[in-house]
């Protein structure tokens, strides 16, 4: 037999070098896989249990409850929710896609400023923009007061502006806050994929409108669908803006049914209807991206050539780009800063502000640390155990991001109560005393809700970081005798640290901004910045909530600063 028949493969050399010399160490991979499997089962149970609990809670309702909901509550709530999602969807698609094309295809003075500024509305939660504009556009607010002074009017009744507390007002404000969800992926796709095709279409004599409509827009459809679905998820999850503006969406009805009427089964039944809407949104997003793919080459994609605008065209482009920035960020941020300064100068800082900041940072910080650790382990799962099983776990663990905070809060009640009861029984049988609650009614419930809701953010960033580690480095570590877990800890974790940190920052900011889950699961007599702001707005004392709102916006600028580092240069055509 030829000698080459026994030539070892590089995989055999790697496996042989990494194989433990001692026999008792051979059980290491099995124990590691078993431990990881137990942890994976626990994560899947925590993520999936709210859905099962939601169905059980809804089934406990009386037979007379559902006909009442179906006749008097759900029709209006479903209609308002459907119209809100339709209006917000159209707005974010138009604003996000138009803004992405404007800064990607054209060059004009101020374009770089717009390129960064168009992300700023991400820093403003939906409930804060509603809170701000309700005071700005109030009959005795700065806008109407200034207009009456210009027109020589004295009474607020002499000037009538369109009512902001309406469904169109809610659509308008949410659209100007949520459009960056479409702008960001669409802009990235234009810059990375469109260059050669756009230039070919221009060379064939296509007008700017025809190039956008027939080439750029169809190619951007997957990115638009993805961004629009995320924006609609946020609109569906909103409770503060909709309630402040008088729109009775499904989310608002869930909160009202649970808190105001003390009817948990009824709230669970409405939440199930919300879950159907969520599933429909996810299905629509996948349908919009069906059988869509792009040819890839080994070469770096050619950047799009930007057309230079001058004169009136450049001024019009600049003003169009500034409009969503002004409405979505500059006006509410300026109002909050001005009102907060007046509030501090007149009455000082609110007495409870320090405690609320501590509560906010404490709960968000604990959830962030746990999410970062679990996110890294879940993302690294395919490298430690079977790849297919690891990918399944990643999908399961990411489901929580699609659950609105109200659905998640209701779904966690029964599992947390069961866990507390089981722990109390076990402790009483072993030690003769039952511990205090550690889940339901405590900060633990809030941390778990944050973890389930935003674990997908940590997993996604860790996956992206691990994917950037060259395969040659883990292979070299294994040839030097390191096992998979040692390679992960000594090689991949240090190289993935920037992505892990970025994901942790995003999770922290999302936890700080989250209102529905915080409002429903916070411990008694515990306020965070978000719930304090909600309470002040509900009472109509807007000035007392401006400091908390400004702090939330300032924290929200952190992910914007991270995202601003992701820029792609493009050439400019003179």
Percent of the chain predicted with pLDDT > 70: 74
Neighbours of 316 (CB within 10 A): 12
* Confidence check: pLDDT of 458 > 70: yes
Task: Evaluate whether residue 22 is within a structural domain.
Answer: no
Which residue blocks in 432-545 are alpha helix, DSSP H?
A: 443-467, 472-479, 484-487, 493-513, 516-521, 529-539
Q: HSE-up of 474 (CA within 13 Å, CB side)?
A: 23
Higher-confidence residue of 42 and 294: namely 42
pLDDT at 295: 45
Residue 245 has which token pair? 């503006």
Tens-place pLDDT, residues 164-207: 888 999 999 999 999 998 998 888 777 766 566 666 666 666 66
Q: HSE-up of 408 (CA within 13 Å, CB side)?
A: 28
Task: Evaluate whether residue 14 is within a structural domain.
Answer: no
| Average predicted confidence (pLDDT) for the chain | 76
Query: Poorest-confidence range of 24-28, 414-418, 426-430, 528-532?
Result: 24-28
Rounded-to-integer distance, Cα 527 and Cα 533, Å = 9
Task: Evaluate whether residue 460 is within a structural domain.
Answer: yes
Q: What is the dihedral of CA 429, 434, 439, 443, to 10 degrees?
A: -150
Higher-confidence residue of 28 and 392: namely 392
Rounded-to-integer distance, Cα 34 and Cα 385, Å = 9
Tens-place pLDDT, residues 211-243: 777 777 777 787 888 788 888 888 888 888 888
Query: Poorest-confidence range of 130-144, 296-310, 504-518?
Result: 296-310
Q: Please, what sign has the CA dihedral across residues 31, 43, 382, 504?
A: negative
Q: What is the pTM of this model?
A: 0.78
Contact 409, 518 (CB under 8 A): no
pLDDT at 571: 42
* Confidence check: pLDDT of 494 > 80: no
Higher-confidence residue of 483 and 452: namely 452
Domain that holds residue 315: 32-292+308-569
* Confidence check: pLDDT of 385 > 80: no
Rounded-to-integer distance, Cα 389 and Cα 373, Å = 19
Contact 251, 79 (CB under 8 A): no
Sort 241 into a burial class: Cβ within 10 Å, 0-12 / 13-18 / 19+: buried
* Confidence check: pLDDT of 472 > 80: no
Report the Cα 292 to chain-centroid distance in Å.
24
Query: Poorest-confidence range of 47-61, 237-251, 264-278, 334-348?
Result: 47-61
pLDDT at 246: 85
Contact 44, 504 (CB under 8 A): no
Task: Evaluate whether residue 170 is within a structural domain.
Answer: yes
Task: Evaluate whether residue 26 is within a structural domain.
Answer: no
Structurally, the chain folds into a number of domains equal to 1
Res. 478 pLDDT band, cuts 50 70 90: low
Task: Evaluate whether residue 215 is within a structural domain.
Answer: yes
Task: Evaluate whether residue 419 is within a structural domain.
Answer: yes
pLDDT at 186: 86
| Intra-chain end-to-end CA distance of the chain, in Å | 69
pLDDT at 289: 63
Task: Evaluate whether residue 457 is within a structural domain.
Answer: yes
Contact 359, 445 (CB under 8 A): no
Output the CA angle 334-339-340, nearest 5 degrees: 100
Q: What is the CATH number of the domain that holds 64?
A: 1.10.3720.10
Rounded-to-integer distance, Cα 525 and Cα 520, Å = 12
- Any residues with CB less than 8 A from the CB of 142 and at least 6 apart, and which? 136, 335
Contact 50, 408 (CB under 8 A): yes
């Amino acid at each position: 037999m030829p000698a080459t028949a026994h030539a070892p493969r590089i995989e055999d050399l790697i496996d042989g070098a990494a194989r433990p010399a001692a026999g008792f160490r051979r059980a290491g991979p099995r124990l590691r896989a078993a431990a990881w499997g137990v942890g994976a089962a626990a994560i899947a149970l925590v993520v999936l249990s709210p859905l099962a609990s939601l169905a059980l809670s809804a089934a406990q309702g009386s037979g007379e409850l559902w006909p009442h909901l179906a006749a008097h509550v759900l029709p209006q709530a479903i209609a308002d929710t459907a119209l809100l999602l339709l209006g917000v969807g159209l707005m974010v698609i138009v604003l996000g896609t138009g803004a992405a094309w404007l800064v990607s295809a054209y060059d004009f003075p101020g374009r770089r400023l717009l390129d960064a500024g168009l992300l700023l509305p991400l820093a403003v939660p939906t409930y804060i923009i509603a809170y701000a504009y309700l005071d700005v556009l109030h009959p005795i607010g700065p806008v109407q007061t200034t207009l009456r002074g210009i027109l020589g009017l004295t009474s607020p009744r002499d000037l009538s502006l369109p009512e902001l507390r309406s469904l169109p007002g809610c659509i308008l404000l949410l659209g100007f806050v949520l459009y960056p969800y479409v702008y960001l992926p669409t802009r990235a796709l234009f810059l990375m994929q469109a260059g050669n095709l756009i230039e070919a279409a221009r060379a064939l004599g296509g007008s700017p409108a025809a190039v956008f409509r027939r080439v750029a827009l169809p190619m951007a459809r997957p990115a638009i669908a993805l961004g629009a679905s995320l924006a609609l998820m946020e609109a569906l999850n909103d409770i503060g803006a909709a309630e402040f503006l008088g729109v009775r969406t499904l989310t608002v009805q869930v909160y009202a049914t649970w808190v105001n009427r003390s009817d948990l089964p009824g709230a669970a039944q409405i939440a199930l209807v919300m879950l159907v809407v969520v599933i429909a949104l996810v299905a629509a997003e996948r349908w919009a991206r069906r059988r869509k793919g792009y040819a890839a080459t080994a070469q770096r994609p050619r950047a799009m050539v930007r057309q230079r605008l001058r004169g009136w065209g450049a001024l019009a482009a600049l003003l169009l780009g500034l409009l969503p920035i002004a409405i979505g960020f500059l006006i509410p941020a300026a109002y909050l800063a001005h009102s907060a300064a007046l509030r501090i100068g007149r009455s000082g800082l609110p007495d409870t502000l320090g405690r609320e900041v501590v509560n906010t940072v404490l709960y968000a910080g604990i959830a962030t640390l746990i999410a970062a650790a679990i996110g890294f382990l879940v993302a690294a799962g395919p490298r430690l155990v079977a790849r297919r099983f690891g990918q399944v776990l990643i999908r399961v663990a990411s489901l929580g991001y699609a659950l609105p905070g109200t659905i998640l809060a209701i779904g966690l009640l029964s599992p947390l109560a069961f866990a507390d009861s089981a722990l109390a029984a076990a402790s009483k049988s072993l030690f003769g005393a039952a511990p205090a609650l550690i889940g339901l009614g405590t900060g633990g419930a809030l941390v778990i809700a944050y973890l389930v809701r935003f674990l997908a953010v940590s997993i996604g960033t860790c996956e992206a970081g691990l994917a950037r580690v060259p395969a040659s480095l883990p292979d070299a570590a294994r040839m030097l005798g390191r096992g998979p877990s040692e390679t992960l800890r000594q090689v991949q974790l240090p190289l993935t640290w920037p992505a892990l940190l970025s994901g942790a920052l995003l999770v922290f900011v999302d936890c700080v901004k989250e209102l529905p889950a915080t409002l429903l699961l916070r411990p008694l007599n515990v306020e965070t910045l978000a719930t304090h702001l909600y309470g002040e707005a509900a009472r109509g004392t807007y000035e007392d909530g401006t400091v908390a709102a400004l702090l939330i916006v300032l924290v929200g600028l952190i992910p914007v600063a991270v995202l601003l580092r992701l820029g792609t240069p493009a050439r400019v055509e003179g």
